[in-house]
């Protein structure tokens, strides 16, 4: 009915509030790729409030209701440090609509003067004029779904753009003054080592500011999952994907990119601050069908289908389908699981059994490794999963091999 759980007001242990971000989910796509399990729809005319042409107006209703709910819960207004428009394919909407969405964020929450503002885009869903309009309207960054430079791999992934399109759109974005990122997927059925190297060579030749590379995960219920289980496509192999990750790290490192999170590399200063917000436990509001939010000790998730989402907003309700309160033990596990993914790792002293102190800014920073973890850390270093020099300096930092086994490291550190 528009009220938020009381736990959204939980302060950080050190006092004050976490920084704040906004995620906006645009659910429309021209084609739904076979591997995709995101909340996306190819029907752009689903009915009043849920159609693409109505989307900005409906989103305005949610953002204004969210601001009222935060005010009622006693949450201080904090200007958004980052805004990320994802999907779906946000650039299925006109650039003017995306700029209007950004203005809604500014109206409802405020926008930091140096805010990072990103939209996702497919290479064939933008033109030069549209990218220039986004930059003029306040966007600072665009993330293109390249996925591969090899036609037969793109076909398996059901991507609709031609490889030659990618360098063109990156150049258009640069001319507009936008920072650029390219997303890659490795491990697609039928992708050889040579195919993957070809994609990496294409990326380094294009030279974006940022690169994300994700192993293909075939989720149950997707069209590709059905193809695999009918024997029409092979299941990706863990060893093949591990080798391709190592190839990516070597190629990107040689080209001047530095890894800052397991699946992300950037030129110095071009790291994605919005993604860092997730890994560093910021607060954020997620607006749009199926979007997730995180405020204080509460996670909330929106109604998934656009028609139902729009209907709730039309009746004055927050379109929140459910929520959960994160207890201290779960928050501590997540702090370690997410922190270990980052290039700086985590302070070993912070791994002392202190579930009552889950903040990344812990008062025990700088102290020695907890005695019960000394043999654990030594074993992880001996197995090549943690960097020995960093461990001597009191930090748990993954090696290249450790990045491939991050879950193993997390389990060892949280026993």
Other beta carbons within 10 angstroms of residue 16's beta carbon come to 9
Other beta carbons within 10 angstroms of residue 353's beta carbon come to 10
pLDDT on residue 363: 43
Q: What is the pLDDT of residues 191-216, one digit of tens each?
A: 999 999 999 999 999 999 999 999 99
Tell me what the mean pLDDT of segment 82-93 comes to: 97
Buried b (16+ CB within 10 A) or exposed e, 96-133: ebbbbbbebbeebbebbeebbbbbbbbbbbbeeebbbb
pLDDT tops 90 at residue 50: yes
Q: Which of 329, 353, 291, 327 is nearest to 101 (CA)?
A: 291
pLDDT on residue 203: 98
pLDDT on residue 353: 56
Tell me what the mean pLDDT of segment 273-293 comes to: 95
pLDDT tops 80 at residue 17: no
Residue 113 or 369, more confident: 113
Q: What does the alpha-carbon distance between residue 352 and residue 354 come to, in Å, rounded to a whole number?
A: 6
pLDDT on residue 10: 65
pLDDT tops 80 at residue 114: yes
Quickly state the pLDDT bin for 74 (edges 50, 70, 90): confident
pLDDT tops 90 at residue 250: yes
Q: Name the residue with tokens 């949610």.
A: 62
Q: What does the alpha-carbon distance between residue 293 and residue 227 come to, in Å, rounded to a whole number?
A: 33
Residue 261 or 281, more confident: 261
pLDDT on residue 352: 75
Q: What is the pLDDT of residues 348-401, one digit of tens each?
A: 999 875 544 433 344 444 457 888 889 999 999 999 999 999 999 999 999 999
pLDDT on residue 129: 98
Length of the chain measured in residues:
415
């Amino acid at each position: 009915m528009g009220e938020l759980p009381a736990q959204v007001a939980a302060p950080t242990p050190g006092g004050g509030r976490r920084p704040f971000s906004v995620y906006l989910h645009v659910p429309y796509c021209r084609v739904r790729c076979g591997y995709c399990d995101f909340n996306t729809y190819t029907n752009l005319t689903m009915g009043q409030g849920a159609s693409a042409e109505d989307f900005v107006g409906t989103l305005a209703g949610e953002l204004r209701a969210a601001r009222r709910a935060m005010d009622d819960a006693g949450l201080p207004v904090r200007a958004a440090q980052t805004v990320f428009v994802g999907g779906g394919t946000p650039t299925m909407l006109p650039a003017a609509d995306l700029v209007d969405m950004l203005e809604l964020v500014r109206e409802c929450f405020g926008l930091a003067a140096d805010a990072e503002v990103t939209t996702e885009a497919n290479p064939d869903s933008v033109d030069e004029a549209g990218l220039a309009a986004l930059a003029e309207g306040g966007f600072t960054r665009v993330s293109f779904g390249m996925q591969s430079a090899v036609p037969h791999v793109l076909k398996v992934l059901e991507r609709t753009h031609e490889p030659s399109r990618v360098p063109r759109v990156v150049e258009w974005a640069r001319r507009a003054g936008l920072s650029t990122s390219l997303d890659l997927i490795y491990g697609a059925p039928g992708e050889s080592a040579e195919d993957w190297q070809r994609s990496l060579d294409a990326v380094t030749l294009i030279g974006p500011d940022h690169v994300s590379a994700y192993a293909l995960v075939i989720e149950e219920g997707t069209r590709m999952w059905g193809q695999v289980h009918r024997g029409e496509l092979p299941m990706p192999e863990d060893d093949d994907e591990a080798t391709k990750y190592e190839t990516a790290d070597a190629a990107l490192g040689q080209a001047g990119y530095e890894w800052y999170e397991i699946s992300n590399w950037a030129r110095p200063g071009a790291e994605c601050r919005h993604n860092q917000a997730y890994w560093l436990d910021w607060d954020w509001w997620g607006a749009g069908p199926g979007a997730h939010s995180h405020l204080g000790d509460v996670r909330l998730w929106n109604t998934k289908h656009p028609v139902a989402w729009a209907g709730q907003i039309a009746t004055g309700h927050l379109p929140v389908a459910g929520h959960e309160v994160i207890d201290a033990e779960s928050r501590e596990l997540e702090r370690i699981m997410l922190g270990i993914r980052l290039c700086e790792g985590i302070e070993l002293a912070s791994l002392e059994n202190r579930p009552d102190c889950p903040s990344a800014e812990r008062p025990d920073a700088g102290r020695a490794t907890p005695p019960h973890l000394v043999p654990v850390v030594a074993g992880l270093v001996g197995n090549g999963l943690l960097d020995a020099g960093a461990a001597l300096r009191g930090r748990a930092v993954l090696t290249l091999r450790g990045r491939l086994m991050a879950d193993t490291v997390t389990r060892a550190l949280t026993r």
